[in-house]
Structure 1
Amino acid sequence: MSSADAVAREADWLTAFNPADGLPALHASQGGPFDVIQAYLPRTPQQRRTQLYVIRQRLHEVRTANVRRMARHHLQLRIVWPASSPSGAVEPAQQALDEAIELVLLRVGGLMLDKTHGGRFLSVAEDPAEVIVDFADPAESMAARADLLCTVSYTADDAEING
C-alpha cells in the first residue's frame, strides 16, 4: 500500500459488491444507481449519466510517535446526477439522488465492526468519525448543467509506517 493509491483503493471499495455482506451495490452493472464510479475526475465528464468520482482533497501526514507516522486521506466523492426525467419534472431526480446518497453512506460506513473497507485502510470515517454530504443549490446546478451536484467528504487512515 502506498499513499499514492488511496484514491484507487477507495474507488475499488465503492465498486466492489458481495451480496453476502449486506452492503448495497453502487454500480449500475450490479443493480446500483451509478453508471460511472471511478478514481479521479475526467477532463470531460460523461453527459446524462449518474456519476461518482473519488478524489483526494488533502493528504495529512500525522506523526503518531517519535518514529511512527500515518497518512490521513481527506477523500471527497463528487456526484453528478442528471436532473431530467421523461415527464420533465425534476422532483423525481432529486428524490432519486437522495436515495443514492443513502446507499453511498451505507457503503462508506462499511461492515459492522470493520471500518477498513475490506482491509484497504486502517480505518475509514473514524477520525473524525463523520461523513459530510454537501448538496449544491439545485436551482443553480440545474441551470448551469442540467445536473444535480453534491459531494460526500470523509477521511481514511492508512496503517502507520516508520519514518
Structure 2
Amino acid sequence: MSSADAVARETAWLSAFDPEDGLPALLAAQDGPFDVLQGYLPRTPIQRRRQLYVMRRRIQEVRTANVRRMARYNFELQITWPASSPSGSAEEPQQALDNAVDLVLQRIGGLMLDKTHGGRFLSVAEDPAEVSVVFADPDPSLRGNADLTCSISYSADDIEISG
C-alpha cells in the first residue's frame, strides 16, 4: 500500500458488494443507484448519467512516534445526478439523489466494528469522526434541465509506516 493507490483502494471499497454484509450496493449493475463509480474525474464525463467520482483532496503526513508516521487522506466524492425524471417532476430527482447519498453514507460508515473499509485503511471517517455532504443549489440545474450535484468529504488514515 502506498499513498499513490489510496484513491484506487477507496474506489474498490465503494464499488464492492457482498449481499451478506448488509451494506448497500452502489453500482447500477448490482442494483445500486450509480451508473458510473470510478476514481478521478474523466476528461469528458458521460452525460445524463448518475455518476460518483472518488478524489483525494489532501495528503497529510502525521508523525505518530519518533520513527512512525501515517498518511491521512481527505477524500471527496463528487456526485452528478440528472435533474430530469420520466414524470417531469422536479422533486423526484432531488429525492432520488438524497436516497443515493444515504446509501453512500452507509458504505462510508462501513461494517459494524470495522472502520477499515475491509482492511484497506487503518480507519475511515474516524479522525476526525466527520463526514460532510454539501449539496449545490438545485435551482439553476432544474431551470436548465441540467444535473444536480453534491460532494461528500471525509478522511481516512492509512497504515502506519516506519520513516
Same fold (TM over 0.5): yes
Output the CA distance in 1 between the equivalents of 2:23 and 2:159. 24
Deviation at 1:86, TM superposition (A): 1.7
One-letter code aligned to 1:48: R
Deviation at 1:140, TM superposition (A): 2.7
Deviation at 1:141, TM superposition (A): 3.7
Structure 1 residues without counterparts, runs of 5 or longer: none
Structure 1 stretch displaced more, 123-132 or 87-96: 87-96
Partner SS state of residue 103, structure 2: helix
Partner SS state of residue 20, structure 2: helix
Partner SS state of residue 26, structure 1: coil
Runs of 4+ in 1 over 6 A off after TM superposition: none
What do residues 126-148 of structure 1 show as CA deviations (whole Å, max 9, x unaligned)?
A: 00001000000001344567000
1:59 aligns with 2:55: no
- What RMSD, in angstroms, separates the aligned Cα atoms of the two structures? 1.1
What do residues 74-124 of structure 1 show as CA deviations (whole Å, max 9, x unaligned)?
A: 000000000001222221000000000110000000000000000000000
Partner SS state of residue 20, structure 1: coil
For residue 156 of structure 2, what is the aligned residue in structure 1?
156
For residue 11 of structure 2, what is the aligned residue in structure 1?
11
Partner SS state of residue 32, structure 1: coil
Instruction: Give the paired residue count.
Output: 163
Partner SS state of residue 12, structure 1: helix
Structure 2 residues without counterparts, runs of 5 or longer: none
Partner SS state of residue 5, structure 2: helix
Provide the TM-score with structure 1 as the length reference. Answer: 0.97
Structure 1 stretch displaced more, 145-154 or 90-99: 145-154
Provide the TM-score with structure 2 as the length reference. Answer: 0.97
